[in-house]
Chain A
Amino acid sequence: MTPIVKVVVRLVGGFIFLYGCYIVLYGHLSPGGGFAGGAIIAAGLILSRLAFGTTAKQEKSASISSSIFESTGGLLFLLVGLLGLFVGGYFFINLFPSFGTQGRLVSAGSIPFSNIAIGIKVAAAILSIFLVLASTKYIFKE
């Protein structure tokens, strides 16, 4: 890519990532949440890949780590549900309904935790879709 793109991405990439984290963490208070924030985080990661390019080795390690993160996100989300089952007696019951102040960052019980899990899962999943599209090439022939 041209130096213009590289410089702009170097400036903006971190902020996009940070903005994605903000959307994930404030999902229970403002519009957004795990899916939207995860997609923004993935956009930041994809942007730097597009601007600077990668080697085949980096692509391989990135696809392994993104699939591990994806599974971890899914397992964390399931864990939030199962903790509700084993601690509170019902799947996905709110574990700390009255913890924190209403309307502040620390509030809303289990919802921020499930948002974080969804954010990890979505970011890793979108990144791995990008990696698959970027690194494979199918030729259709009968």
Chain B
Amino acid sequence: METFPVLLIAIPLGGAFLVPILYKAWRRLAEIVAGLCLATVLALSIYLAFFLVPGKPLVYLFGNWPVPLGIAFAVDKLSSLMLLIVSILAFFSYLFAIRYMDQFTGAGKFYTLYLLMLVGMNGVVMTGDLFNMFVFMEIAGLAAYALVAFGTKPKELEAGFKYMVMGEIASLMILLAIALIYAATSTLNLADLSRAFATMDKTPGFYFVVILLMFGFSLKAGLVPFHFWLPDAYPSAPAPVTAVLSGVFTKALGVYAMARILFNVYGFSRASSPEVFNALLILGLVSIVVGGLLALPQKDYKRLLAYSSISQIGYIVLALGIGNEFALIGAFAHILSHSLGKGLLFLTSGSVVYRVGERDITKFTGGLGKQMPWTSLSYNLGALSVAGMPPFLGFFSKLFIILGAVKAGFIVPAVVAGLFAVVTLGYLLKITNKVFWGKEGIKGIKESPFVMVFAMVCLVVLLVAGGAFFFWLKPHLLQPAADVLLKGTEYADIVFRIGTGG
């Protein structure tokens, strides 16, 4: 188990470099190797998520340099939960992609970029070093820019370029913050930084760095004032990539990194620095409202889902801003439920595009549910979960966020969150109404190939099972992850104790 963190990086990285060589020799072999890498990563992260003891993180020292000196990976319950979510969605999107990528040329490059994106996301959630986090963010980001433009049609290239410019602005803000932090503290290790920040005066410069970091991570997460790249980038990317981008990419690079740095490194809490948390609360609320309202009039299948993603990420950031135990459990439950649910919805969009070749929902006459029963079923169940209907995982996540808001005395955010769950259902059922329900279908359309249906049905099963076993998941996965954030700077003490061999 000690070497798992490095294997989670090395296996997909090795796969990413092997695939282009193998692809030239035999296409299927390259796909099998990519699949084996993803399956191994999934197996390792399931083991880590369930068998890691809370309060005893794995600290992996590169080159055996003790903690403040070298680069260290620190995998605690929060990291392992994120790893689990990332690898589940990456694996099922890969299954979907095997047949979906038949439409594109150069699928070998797709698997390389896909695995590199996985390397980046795994690295961001595991690393214990600020600059290392930036490097992994760039690995994931550069792979994502190329994947958004993978179709190489003018619109896709434009969306990819736009995404690259916006993403690099965010990266530059984070880099500037890192430079200022390094100038002030002479260290970049997260645990060491946490100790340095504890004794630092709260000058305007201190808050300037916090604002730079929040700006960068909010742009990566696609929160509302910084969301302009997102509705172009998501519809342009191939469906399996959109599923990963929406499902885990923005959460790992934006929400996770922001939560880790604000809670564990700066040691902010609702009681000690309400101004930071109010900023998060407002960002979250604005994202919920604007994303939800902009999703309502959309005509493009994937663009509607993209605006919906903005709205749902808003829920997570709102919960972080509330910052009590219930809300944080809700935040992690929502990260899990939204990544599975929205990933599933984007996969169904891919399934419809694969067979019909059309994304504009005003051109559909309805009745596609007759020809594509499994896609229709997956879409409807996924939509119910994302909207927060009772038997599914999405219900519990929104319930806990609203409970947390009420408990902390934020009645207006709680009411808005509850109201926009209904709005969510409204715009998601618009697709059901226009595309799947009705008598007259489009003639000559068949259900998608087996692996694509299999990937979608697996995600539906996970959503239903997550809802059914929520009160088993809560103490095993969600509560320990929330505890990591609630304990704040205790993270530094634990990492130092384990990382120096004590």
Q: A107 at interface (Cβ–Cβ under 8 A)?
A: no
A99 in contact (CB, < 8 A):
no
A91 pairs with B154, CB closer than 8 A:
no
Comparing A2-10, A17-25, A42-50, A67-75, the segment that makes contact with chain B is A67-75
Q: Given the known inter-chain contacts A71-B17, A78-B14, A142-B154, please indicate yes or no for A91 contacting B24, CB distance below 8 A.
A: no
Judge whether A138 and B14 touch: CB under 8 Å: no
**Min C-beta distance of A119 to chain B, whole Å:** 16
Residue in A90, A91, A138 whose CB lies within 8 Å of B10? A91
Tell me, yes or no, whether B13 is within 8 Å of chain A by CB: yes
A92 to B60, CA, bound (A): 12
Q: Across the interface, do A91 and B21 meet the contact criterion of CB distance under 8 Å?
A: no
B16 / chain A contacts, CB cutoff of 8 Å: 74
The interface on chain A, measured as residues whose beta carbon lies within 8 A of the other chain's beta carbons, has a size of 24
Contact B17 A92 (CB under 8 A): no
A62 close to chain B: CB less than 8 A: no
A78 touches B63 (CB 8 A): no
Q: Report whether A81 and B10 are in contact in the complex, using a CB–CB cutoff of 8 Å.
A: yes
B356 in contact (CB, < 8 A) = no
Number of A-B pairs, beta carbon distance below 8 Å: 51
- Tell me if A84 and B154 are in contact (CB < 8 A): no
Chain B residues near A85 (CB, 8 Å)?
A: 3, 6, 10
Q: Does B61 contact A (CB under 8 A)?
A: yes
User: Which B residues are CB-close (under 8 A) to A70?
Assistant: 20
CB of A93 within 8 A of chain B? yes
Q: How far is the CA of A64 from the CA of B152 in the complex (A)?
A: 20
How far, in angstroms, from A96 to B215 measured CA to CA in the complex?
45
Which B residues between 140 and 165 are near A, CB-CB below 8 angstroms?
152, 154, 157
Contacting residues, chain B, for A84 (C-beta < 8 A): 63
Distance between Cα atoms of A142 and B155 in the complex (Å)? 8
Q: Which of B13, B18, B63, B154 interacts with A93 by CB under 8 Å?
A: B63
Tell me the complex Cα distance, A70–B18, Å.
Answer: 10
Instruction: Verify A74–B17 contact, CB threshold 8 A.
Output: yes
B62 within 8 A of A: yes
CB-based contact A91/B14 at 8 Å: no
Residues of A within 8 A of B17 (CB): 71-72, 74-75, 78
Known: A138-B157, A141-B154, A142-B154. A90 touches B14 (CB 8 A): no
Residues of B that sit less than 8 Å from A by CB: 3, 6, 10, 13-14, 16-18, 20-21, 24, 60-64, 152, 154, 157
